[in-house]
Structure 1
Amino acid sequence: MLRIRLDGDLQGKGRPQFDPRTGRAYTPGQTRTYESDLRRTAQHAMRTAGLSVITGPVRVCLLAEEEVPESWARWKRDAALLGLIRPTVKPDADNIIKMLDALNPVKHKIAGKKVTEDVVWSDDAVVVEIQFEKHYSATPGLTVTVTPLNAAPAQITRASQLPAAPAA
């Protein structure tokens, strides 16, 4: 299991912007910065855990913690921290989930050579289960927990590649 924690305000993946001069799409700056921070945090977590790139099916649990607005009355802040009020505000769940793209391998060109920088998994297609929760918290941030599953990827070619069945 891998746990990645990125402290700070939540950021959803922004829509691509278009350069009117060239017509080319580009990722907005805030999205690029947040993805870069999440990528660096994930790479550090992978090194610390001694893990290599994940190639099999995984479950991903995301816990998005939003800061309680300071302008709220004390009773409302307390209720939010107890989970009695939930953050039905932006960023939306789907845009936060799209930030998982930051955990895909990144391709760079260094001195004319194409280089792939691994992050967490070989491709986000290995994510076969997702759980998402959004709460208020005194410490805002995003926690991503990646759990490998006892299952084989669809690309196996022999029965011998199947995992052992769990004991009944």
Structure 2
Amino acid sequence: MEVRFTILGEPKGKGRPRFCRNTGHAITPKDTVNYETLVRMEYGVAYSDFKFPDDAMLDMRIKAFYSIPKSASKKKRASMLANEIRPTKKPDMDNVVKIIADSLNQVAYRDDTQIVDCQCRKFYSENPRVEVMIQDIQPKQAERGMK
């Protein structure tokens, strides 16, 4: 099985938790909580009744499309749209993967430890968004990947 969905808007990364000195509790930044909710909602709209089995090995592919800076010249903008220039700006791709994978815990799969293969790619676009594809890997496929 394969699922695909899109989160519209600028890609976000997982924010670092802040710690309360009085209680010692970790507080997740509101921006992170809001984006995780958006990811869960987009998945729910596309696949409200589907969750991968608890023993599934998963492959996650993420394409993060960043907006083109307004200061970019026409020539640079064209290079960005042709993928000749790719984003080297924040958020880091590991934080993009982290926020998407954590958001889908108990929604698309039991836990993000089920993700055994992952790819994240960054591009520029006039329509900022994050495209997510998750598929289960069959045992034979996993063996072939090692050869």
- Which structure is higher in RCO with an 8 Å CA cutoff and minimum separation 6? 2
Match of 1:12 in 2: 13
Q: Aligned pair in 2 of structure 1 residues 64, 54: CA closer, same or farther (>3 Å)?
A: farther
Identity of aligned pairs, percent?
34
Name the amino acid aligned to 1:17. R
Cα distance in 2 for residues equivalent to 1:131 and 1:40: 22
- Give, in angstroms, the shift of residue 46 of structure 1: 1.4
- Please give the residue correspondences for 1:49-68 in structure 2 after superposition, counting only pairs within 5 Å: 51-55=50-54, 56-68=56-68
Cα distance in 2 for residues equivalent to 1:54 and 1:83: 36
SS in 2 for 1:4: strand
TM-score using structure 1 length:
0.78
Q: Let me know the Cα RMSD of the aligned residues.
A: 1.9
Q: Which runs of 4+ in 1 moved over 3 A?
A: none
- Give, in angstroms, the shift of residue 54 of structure 1: 3.5
**Count of equivalent residues:** 140
Cα distance in 2 for residues equivalent to 1:82 and 1:61: 21
Determine which of 125, 133, 138 is the counterpart of 1:150: 138
Q: Which structure has greater helix proportion?
A: 2
- Please give the residue correspondences for 1:17-32 in structure 2 after superposition, counting only pairs within 5 Å: 17-32=18-33
Cα distance in 2 for residues equivalent to 1:51 and 1:10: 24
- Give, in angstroms, the shift of residue 132 of structure 1: 1.1
SS in 2 for 1:15: coil
Match of 2:35 in 1: 34
Determine which of 101, 108, 118 is the counterpart of 1:120: 108
Residue pair 1:54, 1:120 contacting (<8 A) in 2 also: no
